[in-house]
């Protein structure tokens, strides 16, 4: 069932619905031996995702643009919550900077032995063209390319962890139903061209890339035979800080108040994919409201997924050569 924001409250095949919260979908689950990275966890659904994973015993690493914002989130998540400081780690990373992503990954691997769960959650919405420090359109750089590079850098660590522990590794890309707004158009090769920038399609493009990334990851895992899965999801229509750069988005979310989820409901599908045994061995799928859903036709295009992968690789390689 497609979810464009208005909620379907009745339980569905998984036993959960749009009304389910992250705590409810992970009730009784034990993550004490797991390590997770959650991007965008200083606020909103990322922060709630981190909180619930911590409640289930998971060791959580929060990458933050500044240590100040990360440590502020850590205090909020741990003080008076009965969660040991030692289970939550803050590290600095700016997803829009490939250099920063590389430094984070190297630092993480030097400090932490295992990585079971990677949640690519962070995202921004902009309505004007802004280049990143690497000369890439800012939304695409943050929402997709930074996560693509981060995932690539951490894959060997995740494969080794799965092999050593026998626990299947999980990669989760937080996308959006907004990916459907692309219609039948998606030209990834023009995303860095300011003359071709479309203020209404840039965010949907980046969210479509999130789904295609997970799809191609899954295909590669199957070919390789490694014990990892990759899935994507739409969290629902939620009023969070993602709209902080857009008065239009903020007004739209306020207008659609009756169709909105709370933040605990918005984090439910992410936490479900991260921990629930129902999705063991499930890979390359798109989820809404803790249930498998059908994305747009473009999001299921395997050739387009391969093209997005190869162009993303080229953008990263180009930066390494500069």
Say if CB 52 and CB 25 are below 8 A apart.
Answer: no
State the Cα–Cα distance between residues 58 and 56, nearest whole angstrom: 6
Instruction: Give the active site residue among 185, 203, 272, 286.
Output: 203
Two tokens, residue 7: 């909620």
State the Cα–Cα distance between residues 254 and 137, nearest whole angstrom: 28
Q: What ranges make up the beta strands (E) of 104-191?
A: 117-120, 169-174
State the Cα–Cα distance between residues 271 and 235, nearest whole angstrom: 10
Angle ∠(239,243,245) on CA atoms, nearest 5: 155
Residue 225 region, left (φ>0) first, then alpha (ψ -120 to 50), else beta? left
Dihedral angle at the C-alpha atoms of 77, 81, 83, 89, nearest 10 degrees? 10
Give the SS3 label for residue 36.
strand
- Interhelix angle 44-55/67-78, nearest 10 degrees: 50
- Is position 272 annotated as part of the catalytic site? no
- Interhelix angle 268-275/44-55, nearest 10 degrees: 40
Nearest to 53 by CA among 82, 94, 87: 87
Nearest to 217 by CA among 208, 226, 207: 226
**Which residues are designated catalytic?**
203
């Amino acid at each position: 069932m497609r979810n464009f924001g208005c909620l379907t409250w009745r339980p569905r095949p998984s036993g959960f619905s749009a009304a389910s919260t992250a705590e409810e979908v992970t009730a009784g689950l034990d993550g004490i031996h797991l390590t997770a990275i959650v991007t965008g966890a200083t606020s909103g659904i990322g922060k709630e995702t981190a909180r619930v994973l911590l409640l289930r015993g998971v060791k959580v690493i929060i990458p933050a643009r500044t240590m100040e914002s990360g440590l502020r989130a850590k205090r909020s998540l741990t003080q008076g919550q009965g969660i040991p400081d030692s289970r939550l780690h803050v590290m600095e990373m700016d997803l829009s900077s490939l250099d920063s992503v590389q430094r984070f990954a190297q630092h993480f691997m030097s400090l932490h032995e295992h990585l079971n769960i990677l949640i690519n959650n962070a995202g921004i919405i902009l309505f004007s063209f802004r280049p990143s420090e690497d000369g890439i359109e800012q939304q695409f750089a943050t929402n997709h390319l930074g996560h693509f590079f981060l995932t690539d850098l951490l894959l060997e660590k995740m494969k080794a962890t799965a092999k050593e522990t026998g626990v299947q590794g999980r990669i989760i890309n937080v996308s959006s139903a907004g990916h459907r707004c692309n219609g039948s158009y998606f030209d990834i090769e023009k995303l860095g061209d300011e003359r071709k920038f479309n203020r209404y399609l840039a965010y949907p493009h980046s969210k479509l890339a999130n789904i295609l990334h997970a799809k191609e990851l899954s295909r590669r895992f199957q070919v390789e035979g490694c014990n990892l899965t990759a899935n994507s999801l739409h969290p629902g229509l939620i009023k969070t800080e993602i709209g902080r750069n857009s008065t239009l988005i903020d007004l739209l979310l306020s207008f659609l108040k009756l169709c909105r989820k709370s933040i605990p409901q918005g984090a439910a599908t992410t936490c479900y994919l991260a921990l629930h045994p129902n999705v063991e061995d499930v890979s390359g799928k798109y989820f809404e409201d803790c249930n498998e859903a059908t994305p747009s036709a473009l999001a299921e295009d395997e050739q387009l997924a391969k093209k997005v992968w190869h162009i993303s690789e080229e953008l990263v390689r180009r930066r390494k050569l500069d």
